[in-house]
Amino acid sequence: MTDDGAAGWAGKNTVKGNRSFGSANRSTIIHGDNNIIYPPPDSNDDDDEGAAEEEPGSASHSFPWKWIAGAVAAIIILCNIIPDAPQPKSSFPAENGTRPAGSNDGAVLAAALGGLQSCAKAVVLQPQNCPQQVKEWGAGDANTVTWRIHGVPGDGAVIHYNGEEGRFHVLGTAIMTASYETASGPDLKLRVIEFWARVEWVAGKAKLAELKNYDETPRPAMEKRNPQVPDELALSLVKAAFERCVRTRKSQLPPECPDTYSGAGSSKVSWKLNGDPSINAKPRFEPSTGLIHVDGNYSVTASYSQLFLGATSKPASGRYDAILSVDDGKPQVLRINTA
């Protein structure tokens, strides 16, 4: 018994002779005279179909990564092509032109330092035509202002002659302190002053034309000489400074001491050092300023009497940075900051 549908289909696709028609992949092959052969299923067919189906997916996933890689390569190329931004140029002029006959650096520096000494006589915290100033909240009513210069302000100074301007330029570093009184009590501030002086050479003499603060960058490198203060001496000076700090009977330590408040209000306070603050402290020299820093730890206790509470004790401790300068060959502690 024959299947007319299959026979009809086979008749339309019959190839005479010993030739076959169809594909080799799960297709009906007609061989010879209408002999229909159904090949057995291939056990690898499923795997081949899966692989065929995965190939388009793999291509679609790799496509975005090609764009990303191309973008990264383009950025790298652009970074190599675009030149670096020019470095900022110092406004302090380079040496140029011919110096006036008879001029010398010693006289020029002396004129600049003379102006600095005059500025140290100011009785206000923001003197005009001077490089130093103190801008602090609550210091607007400051009185009994006293400025002091410390260290060697002329050491490490840079002196250039600007022929285009016809003036000498002096750039140096000075250490200045300002002590003053406000409604809140005494205060002391330490300032590192980068001073910039313009000096003219007139009739064989140096004359200061302008003195101001140099607050621009970059600036020429300046270093001061190390005064070679022995560590043992520096540590002993710091210890003595702490001992002076705790002699006060006020509720807060003096302004040159660590910023430590007892909380006693107006009551008299007895302060005590808990141990030696110079133990394990380490001195270090700072070439840019000529100052000596001593880093260490301190501990103090404030004892006082409170209304209704009686005798009270309050400890305080922390890290400190003691700042020393050498004035006229003698080292001294300028202030002790809380680190």
What is the model's pLDDT at position 75?
A: 72
State residue 252's pLDDT score. 92
Q: Which two tokens stand for residue 214?
A: 């140099």
pTM of the model: 0.72
Residuewise pLDDT in 10s, the chain (339 residues): 444 444 443 344 443 444 333 444 444 444 444 444 444 455 444 444 444 444 444 445 555 667 777 777 777 776 566 655 555 666 899 999 999 999 999 999 999 999 999 999 999 999 999 999 999 887 888 999 999 999 999 999 999 999 999 999 999 999 999 999 998 899 999 999 999 999 999 999 999 999 999 987 788 889 999 999 999 999 999 999 999 999 999 999 999 999 998 888 777 999 999 999 999 999 999 999 999 999 999 999 999 988 777 889 999 999 999 999 999 999 999 999 998
Q: What is the model's pLDDT at position 89? A: 62
Pair of tokens at residue 34: 């209408």
- For the CA atoms of the chain, what is the radius of gyration? 43
Q: Give the torsion sign (CA, 131, 137, 143, 148).
A: negative
Structure tokens at 6: 């299959």
- Label each residue of 258-320 as H, E or C: CCCECCCCCCCCEEEECCCCCCCCEEEEECCCCEEEEEEEEEEEEEEEECCCEEEEEEEEEEE
* Distance between start and end Cα atoms, the chain: 108
- Cα angle 259-146-154, degrees, rounded to a multiple of 5: 100
Long-range residue pairs from 305-309, CB within 8 A, at least 24 positions apart, any chain:
305/267, 306/264, 306/267
